[in-house]
Structure 1
Amino acid sequence: MSDRPQSPSPERETFHLLRAVTVEFGLRQAAFAGEHGLHPTDVRALICLLDAERAGEDATPGRLGAELGLNSAGTTSVLDRLERLGHLTRERDPRDRRRVLLRVTGRAKELGWAYFGPLVHGTEELLRGFAPAERAAVDRFLHGVRELMTGEGAPVNGSDSGGS
């Protein structure tokens, strides 16, 4: 048996590259949070709210808490902090006054674009260099990984002991 470590498969290399990208993005999110007096969960909350807005879906405290994996007290704490900092508003749903809808403020969007806009634009420019079939493959890959991470049986909170 050889003492030399085996080279990872191309698939494992791609996994490690994806992990490196997500780590780097997480570091940028943390830096943004620190620069603007936010907790990293606050940034995740803003992303969830912006994703709901982009999809044309209502954002409610219950939905946000479920997406963040927080109980109602934790969700309220995040919402209070974001509202106090001027990053979101809570409004009564005009169709059902019992429901509260969450909206990201223009100020929060401006801060996000000022910080992440160059990355968004750079990514768009990078993708313009891909042929349609290549972009389709990238999209299929990323959707597949997301499904693996969010689908039934996906490890959560360290419940999977598998290594990388």
Structure 2
Amino acid sequence: MPDRRSNIDLVHQIRALSIRVNLLGAEFAHQIGMHPTDVRALIALLDAQRHSQVATPGWLGAELHLNSATVTALVDRLEQAGLVARERDPADRRRVVLTVTDKASELGWQFFGPVIDRTLDVLNSYPEDELDVIRSFIGRMNAAVG
């Protein structure tokens, strides 16, 4: 088992990657005239959609660690920009569900599509057993940071 100091270079590489990804998000936010928190909200909502998670304003606030007044202002901005829609939950008409619009998805793909393609090229260069290790590592790192 390597000692902790021998892996510090990997910690620094992870940090550097995290910073680069955050800078990409900030650049995207700036390009479309939004705050980086708005972009994080869109990402959370897209992830919810992918996992069939019902996304309410309360859920979004919990995900982003924001209070209800801040979430209301954030959702108002996203809705006004045509990036998010508020809809009544068919199962409970008292509840509002948030959905990402096609416009938001298109903007995201225009900006992040090339990065996603390059990322897929890198991932596709690994054999499946190594991808399993990468998946495990990323999952464990998310839990460790989390």
Q: Which residue of structure 1 aligns with residue 58 of structure 2?
A: 62
Q: Which residue of structure 1 aligns with residue 45 of structure 2?
A: 49
Q: Which residue of structure 2 aligns with residue 131 of structure 1?
A: 127
Matched to 2:120, the amino acid is: E
Q: Map 1:2-151 onto structure 2 (within 5 A).
A: 9-150=5-146
SS in 1 for 2:94: strand
- TM-score, L = length of structure 1: 0.85
Q: Give, in angstroms, the shift of residue 10 of structure 1.
A: 3.7
How many aligned residue pairs are there?
Answer: 143
- Structural RMSD (CA): 1.0
For residues 20 and 74 of structure 2, the distance between their equivalents in structure 1, rounded to whole angstroms, comes to 24
For residues 112 and 58 of structure 2, the distance between their equivalents in structure 1, rounded to whole angstroms, comes to 27
Which structure has the higher relative contact order (CA within 8 Å, separation 6+)? 2
- TM-score, L = length of structure 2: 0.95
Larger-Rg structure: 1
For residues 99 and 11 of structure 1, the distance between their equivalents in structure 2, rounded to whole angstroms, comes to 48
Matched to 1:46, the amino acid is: L
Q: Give, in angstroms, the shift of residue 22 of structure 1.
A: 0.7
Matched to 1:86, the amino acid is: G
- Structure 1 runs of 4+ off > 2 angstroms? none
For residues 12 and 31 of structure 1, the distance between their equivalents in structure 2, rounded to whole angstroms, comes to 29
Cα deviations by residue, 1:64-103 (Å, 9 ceiling, x for unpaired):
0001110000000100000011100000001100111000
For residues 6 and 30 of structure 2, the distance between their equivalents in structure 1, rounded to whole angstroms, comes to 36
Q: Give, in angstroms, the shift of residue 59 of structure 1.
A: 0.6
Gaps of 5+ in 2: none
Gaps of 5+ in 1: 1-7, 151-164
For residues 49 and 121 of structure 2, the distance between their equivalents in structure 1, rounded to whole angstroms, comes to 24
For residues 7 and 97 of structure 2, the distance between their equivalents in structure 1, rounded to whole angstroms, comes to 42
For residues 109 and 84 of structure 2, the distance between their equivalents in structure 1, rounded to whole angstroms, comes to 16
Q: Give, in angstroms, the shift of residue 9 of structure 1.
A: 3.3
